[in-house]
Structure 1
């Protein structure tokens, strides 16, 4: 094996192709030509004397040898980055790029400002903030930290609970003026309810009453949306009533443009969690962001400690 050909650049290219399954996607991510990524892989395979990938016209997949090499390469790259952090610890401030993903509406309304504050505190750290409601693959997409609402099932990632997001039923005053304010959960059956096409079970509204009793209300209506900010606009326009996270509508409640509906019957809160790629958790800039966000999110309206 030609050890001199096993460079960190070639190893990084290999790891990202293994994670994304696409040479062209990695080339776009690294802002280089696809031919450069292809050359890195071929040179690494030649140096090792084994095929790392099986190639088709649409995708590249790891061979058995490639899978074994990937596990070791990830460890090597993590150690290299940690060594750099330790070398800089007594001198330069933490630096480098952080890739962060966040639920879209929460990111627009609140988390983006937290990221600004984090960068003011650590000006040498760059942040690539991706706002999406899709459940992305953090490893494949090169994301360090993700903030997500709702239950999570990916046990391969490090999970840090941030709190519970409190919800309530809201509507515009003119909607209630047209139909009359509901006084019991059954009165909601005659109102247009807001449904989310990207949330399973949003056709049924689960309410908890003041004595702990539970009521299920079927939501009907002409509007269904797939984004929290669209839901906010629909509620504000008086198109429907619906459950809303406090952080989504706190300003509209404060100035009376939305009002609570059946305030003693509330939807259950939703877990808010932070997901961290385990191999990245010990890197200084990732650790700094995790600790900063864990503390700062408690200032977001309606977020309560778990």
Structure 2
């Protein structure tokens, strides 16, 4: 049996990441013809087509999509092996691609990265902020922060702590419309919903004794970013369920009031998520170790 065509696998991973032969060629500092030949060589060896090619678009076939994770892992482990060989002679260096939720990234991650980059001048970070859940393998992301209870998957996840959610509105809103005594009461309120949930119109709650409740809600505002709800909340226009890192300051200042404190409004885990595989470049491991320490402290301080 011949050895695997490791170069072609790495080129395939680069094309998946950059979504074009030309962009992959630029990233790898090779010609477009070299990229095209590597993909054709790999397709011939595997006996399958990896991409649908048109004059305007390049998309993965079903076979290509199934093999993309393997390609990314092969490239990442090759990079990690090379970095390990040079690690003792030099400080970690290179680009780390990172993804995080928008508001959390601005409030907490930005200041931490400033500290990290000051200590590690050889490392560069490409940070993408969005509340949408992205495919970190297809997007070529090295590490992502996710605030959720994660389903089983091939991704590697490290739970760093809990992020508590609160049921909040302006005191003036509750003075006018009444304070709910049970989650079921929320069905009669103007509720702001978060679009990135699987079922935004159903809120679920749990009490310490094990009692559970779910309520269908509706209201005048739905958005894919929780911080965007704050002006309408402060104006007394409705109720929302939001994580503490968005509303804690408003609660402390009296601009918002939390209710139903005996009910959990869906505490989620704060996770660092990485692609499959056990080997990672030193620059990625260095960032993960730093963020694990700082974000664990952040979660502990919040409780």
TM, length-normalised to structure 1: 0.79
Matched, 1:100 2:98: yes
- Given that residues 246 and 302 in structure 1 are in contact (C-alpha distance below 8 angstroms), is that contact kept between their aligned partners in structure 2? no
| Offset from partner CA, 1:94-126 (integer Å, 9 cap, x none) | 111100011222212212222222212212211
2:112 aligned residue (106, 111, 114): 114
Q: Which residue of 1 aligns with 2:228?
A: 230
CA distance in structure 1 between the partners assigned to 2:68 and 2:167 by the alignment = 53
- How has the CA–CA distance of structure 1 residues 178 and 24 changed in structure 2, closer, same or farther, with 3 Å as cutoff? farther
CA distance in structure 2 between the partners assigned to 1:302 and 1:168 by the alignment = 17
Q: Which residue of 1 aligns with 2:133?
A: 135
1:149 aligned residue (147, 164, 167): 147
Structure 2 counterpart SS, 1:278: coil
Structure 2 counterpart SS, 1:295: helix
Q: Which residue of 2 aligns with 1:180?
A: 178
1:221, CA displacement in angstroms? Answer: 1.4
1:54, CA displacement in angstroms? Answer: 5.4
| Offset from partner CA, 1:254-282 (integer Å, 9 cap, x none) | 21111111222231311222211234743
CA distance in structure 1 between the partners assigned to 2:148 and 2:39 by the alignment = 42
TM, length-normalised to structure 2: 0.80
Name structure 2 gaps, 5 residues minimum: none
Structure 2 counterpart SS, 1:192: coil
Which segment drifts farther, 140-149 or 265-274? 265-274
Q: Which residue of 1 aligns with 2:58?
A: 59
- How has the CA–CA distance of structure 1 residues 177 and 59 changed in structure 2, closer, same or farther, with 3 Å as cutoff? same
CA distance in structure 1 between the partners assigned to 2:63 and 2:177 by the alignment = 65
| Offset from partner CA, 1:202-224 (integer Å, 9 cap, x none) | 21222223543222222121221
CA distance in structure 2 between the partners assigned to 1:92 and 1:220 by the alignment = 57
- How has the CA–CA distance of structure 1 residues 138 and 300 changed in structure 2, closer, same or farther, with 3 Å as cutoff? same
CA distance in structure 2 between the partners assigned to 1:228 and 1:138 by the alignment = 22
Q: Which residue of 2 aligns with 1:84?
A: 83
CA distance in structure 1 between the partners assigned to 2:174 and 2:71 by the alignment = 62
Q: Which residue of 2 aligns with 1:163?
A: 161
1:167, CA displacement in angstroms? Answer: 1.2
- How has the CA–CA distance of structure 1 residues 128 and 69 changed in structure 2, closer, same or farther, with 3 Å as cutoff? closer
CA distance in structure 2 between the partners assigned to 1:21 and 1:268 by the alignment = 37
- How has the CA–CA distance of structure 1 residues 295 and 62 changed in structure 2, closer, same or farther, with 3 Å as cutoff? same
Aligned positions, number: 293
- Given that residues 171 and 240 in structure 1 are in contact (C-alpha distance below 8 angstroms), is that contact kept between their aligned partners in structure 2? yes
1:300, CA displacement in angstroms? Answer: 3.1
Name structure 1 gaps, 5 residues minimum: 1-5
2:35 aligned residue (38, 41, 45): 41
CA distance in structure 2 between the partners assigned to 1:278 and 1:110 by the alignment = 26
Which segment drifts farther, 134-143 or 174-183? 174-183
Q: Which residue of 1 aligns with 2:191?
A: 193
- How has the CA–CA distance of structure 1 residues 300 and 49 changed in structure 2, closer, same or farther, with 3 Å as cutoff? closer
